[in-house]
Structure 1
């Protein structure tokens, strides 16, 4: 009887989506640390929600500066009849490898003023989030299935919230500080405006670290537009 009950419980959990199978990663790319890329986000409002598509240059090009500067928000909103557009770059990866699965692996490409980008994720924003706007140190849910790998011996950069949640930097940005370099990250706390109770630290890994997002990633940005994913 106990065995039957256990099987029924597992079936109910599966049906409710409580038990998530470990993703089988279909595509990977390595040697990413300090590699330049750029992103474009655009979307339309649907009643009380805003669905934002995230495109980036990873695997297609290194976001040449002249081409990047030629892209405007106006050209994107006009071409796609979008109510929202954001130029998010240039950025530089801080992890060593990315593995992807599910809808994250796709062949959806767009050309923005001649610069090719691939669809990498979608973000759903509710009415409250739209009203409040994007806040620093506040996580957003991003729909993607990925494994960000940080190799042993590599440096990682972490934010810890007052609740003890740890966010690992996935990319640093030159949007706010155009001169920011990877060499500046160990002492980045001097440039950050950390909310009360937040801690920034850097450390060297003694073993590989995998940050797996199985359908949803919790991502936030600091006041310099550097991005972090929750562990």
Structure 2
């Protein structure tokens, strides 16, 4: 493998709400031991369609990994990001930083299944500012999922200004789940350093991604909405 995954520095960026980015998983191994090294263009200059430059099969051969999967053009919904980033790598003209690791099975589940929680190991702090809207999925057991990124891949009409309409478009929500939008009265921080470096994430049927807030024993949030 020609990649060197792992954290080497701290990355911080402001004014990230609505910023375009894309991601990539580089898979090593097979079966239960397969790992996905996660790379992200977060905080780097990237266009919403830049992911189309990447040929995943060709890239896997070049990197000497078993498989590559591209996370298509996406847009952040937090206002500020902090994370332990690694080497910056050029993937067919798209620069990305190492950002974390998942099991191969959990990363593929994120691509293929809606409303199925997966764990990713990453040292990140997503900061949502007071006075700004957040978009939430609520489970009947009290778990809250906070929208961290949206995509136009399934619904090209989505923009940062109409995400409050997502709820009416989710036709396959699990029983008892609800969608809502609210304006924060104080900053919300989802800091995985308070949870052993782990984040729980899910996708909805529009392929938008949410991070857990109060999922299981997760203590990453400074408060639960």
The reply to whether TM is greater than 0.5 is: yes
Bigger CA radius of gyration:
1
Q: Is the 8 A contact 2:110 2:202 kept in 1?
A: no
SS at match of 2:37: strand
Q: Is the 8 A contact 2:20 2:48 kept in 1?
A: no
The two structures have a TM-score, normalised by structure 2, of 0.81
Alignment of 1:1-231 (within 5 A): 26-63=10-47, 65=49, 67-100=50-83, 104-106=84-86, 108-125=87-104, 134-193=112-171, 194-214=173-193, 215-231=197-213
Q: CA deviation at 1:125?
A: 4.0
SS at match of 2:164: helix
1:56 and 1:218 mapped to 2: Cα distance? Answer: 17
1:122 and 1:163 mapped to 2: Cα distance? Answer: 28
Q: CA deviation at 1:196?
A: 1.4
Matching residue of 2:219? none
2:28 and 2:43 mapped to 1: Cα distance? Answer: 27
Figure out how many residues of one structure are paired with residues of the other and give that number. 201
SS at match of 1:75: helix
Residues 26-52 of structure 1 deviation map (CA, whole Å, 9 limit, x = unaligned): 542110010111111121224522210
Q: CA deviation at 1:56?
A: 1.4
The two structures have a TM-score, normalised by structure 1, of 0.79
Between 1:187-196 and 1:74-83, the stretch displaced more is: 74-83
Residues 63-122 of structure 1 deviation map (CA, whole Å, 9 limit, x = unaligned): 363x4322222222222233332221211110100122xxx232x122111211111111
SS at match of 1:183: coil
Judging changes above 3 Å, is the alpha-carbon distance between structure 1 residues 51 and 28 closer, same or farther for their aligned structure 2 residues? same
2:212 and 2:156 mapped to 1: Cα distance? Answer: 25
Q: CA deviation at 1:132?
A: 11
2:201 and 2:109 mapped to 1: Cα distance? Answer: 19
Indicate the structure with greater helix content: 1
Q: CA deviation at 1:131?
A: 8.9
Q: CA deviation at 1:191?
A: 1.3
Q: CA deviation at 1:129?
A: 8.5
Q: In angstroms, what is the RMSD of aligned CA positions?
A: 2.4
Q: Is the 8 A contact 2:100 2:122 kept in 1?
A: yes
2:159 and 2:54 mapped to 1: Cα distance? Answer: 24
Structure 1: runs of 5+ lacking an equivalent: 1-24
Structure 2: runs of 5+ lacking an equivalent: 1-8, 214-225
Q: CA deviation at 1:226?
A: 0.6
